[in-house]
Amino acid sequence: MQKGFTLIEFILYIGIVGIVLLVVGAIGLNVLFGKAKLTAIEEVSQISRFTMEKIADGVRNAQAINSPAQGASASALSLQMASSSKNPTVFDLSSGVVRITEDTGSAVDLTSSEVVVTNLQFSNISYPGTPGTVRIQMTAKPSNPENRQEYDFEKTFYTTANIRKK
């Protein structure tokens, strides 16, 4: 009696092993791409939340809203501050980066190079006789110079801030 595999058994085993390796490989790629996408989403969310909080904090500490005018919207926000070294404080968008400029100083980036801000909108929704209220809308996505599919993500963030005169 001869021991060994027949050709048909050998082809079946190779086919089964090939299918198992293909499935394991596909699962591994999905895990890697999923992790990359989750990292990109987390980066966008974290930087956007920080930026929105920094802008809202600026509004809360302002004395008045210089622009946009009441009932208007703009891509830049100018605030009148109590301190002359910070007056005016301007938030704007330049080449996908949100910036803050205080007085006549140079602009400081609030967002990092990992995130591209595609839209920044400020709406002055103040009522007459109130200190001032600003609605902030910002749309951001991960920086994706290679156009990789796992980094294809964009999210819009909203917040509203009121001036708190002291």
What does residue 141 show for φ and ψ, rounded to 5 degrees?
Answer: -145, 160
> What letter would DSSP give residue 2?
-
* pTM metric for this prediction: 0.79
Pairing of strands 133-142, 77-81: unpaired
Between CA 157 and CA 101, with CA 92 as vertex, the angle to 5 degrees is: 125
Q: Is 20 exposed, middle or buried (0-12, 13-18, 19+ CB in 10 A)?
A: exposed
DSSP 127: P
Per-position pLDDT tens, the chain of length 166: 667 778 888 899 899 999 999 999 888 887 777 787 888 889 999 999 999 999 999 999 999 999 999 999 999 999 999 888 888 999 999 999 999 999 888 999 999 888 999 999 999 999 888 889 999 999 999 998 888 887 888 999 999 999 987 5
- Domain spans of the chain, in order of start: 7-162
What torsion, rounded to 10 degrees, do the Cα atoms 41, 44, 76, 108 define? Answer: -170
